[in-house]
Amino acid sequence: MDLTALRDEALEATRRFFIDREGITPDEGSDEWEAEYHRQFELAKRRAATSRVAAGPSRAFSHPEWPELTGAPAEKRWGVELRAARLKTIERKDLRDWLAATWTAARDWVKTHDMPGPAFLRRVETQYTADRREAEAQAAARAAEEHASTAAAEALRARVEAAGVTAAGLIDLIDVSPRAAAAPLRGKLAELRAGERTLRVFETSNHDMLVVIEKGEGGRSEYAIERDDGLVADLKLFGAAEAATQGSKL
């Protein structure tokens, strides 16, 4: 029996006792402190003896899949023993796994040391059920969002197909558009790919012109074309459909 560990555990338990009951701790030399410390020391000895019997010669209070508990050293030692004892009594693997994964603070386990087994089980089953419901609700919300995103992308693609808008057709329109003087770029309207050509089309600070940045077999080029409202509308529709399709794949 590690007396130093028992003393540390008793000191921590005594301090916590007065904090929980009165919000302050009395002087450690007072009769009140000494009485409570001796009581906690005896309790710690009994817990240690019980744990040794329950764990056997190996005193295996941990499990390779359980995360390390956080907290003060004495509190962690006590928490590890309590966790092992509590989890040993829980038959449901899903509940054990969830409890080990979520109750990672030693203090959470220590606070249950006086709680009867059935009451502890009811408490964690209630928490587990609430957590599962929240997880299922979040999963359903994500699924609904993904479904809506996919539906929106499909609707946009249908509009593009119905309008007969294609990347190749838009590139052909750009190729025959009158050239203009360049202007500072603003938002991108669309990115078009056809064969070896990739064109990114931007609005500019000049409402009457667009800028095209093209990459192809001949390298990179940048040029401006006169704005055509019909072309801009098709570019926006095509760009929105492409963005929605990419978003629905994330």
- pLDDT for residue 58 is more than 50: no
Residue bearing the bigger pLDDT, 229 or 250: 229
pLDDT of amino acid 60: 44
pLDDT, tens only, 227-236: 999 999 999 9
How many CB atoms neighbour CB 136 within 10 A?
10
pLDDT of amino acid 142: 86
State whether residue 60 is helix, strand or coil.
coil
pLDDT of amino acid 37: 84
Domain spans in the chain, listed from the N-terminal domain onward: 3-114, 151-249
The two structure tokens encoding residue 32: 């009140």
Cα–Cα dist 157/145, whole Å: 18
Q: What is the chain's mean pLDDT, rounded?
A: 85
- pLDDT for residue 128 is more than 90: yes
pLDDT of amino acid 57: 35
Global pTM? Answer: 0.47
CA distances from 90 to 36, 48, 52, 63, 101 (A): 32, 21, 20, 15, 14
Q: Which residues partner with 192 through β-bridges? A: 199
DSSP H stretches of helix in 56-116: 73-88, 93-102, 106-110
Supply the DSSP symbol for 105: B
- pLDDT for residue 92 is more than 80: yes
Q: What is the mean pLDDT of residues 90-112?
A: 91
| Residue 99 CB burial class (10 angstroms; 0-12, 13-18, ≥19) | buried
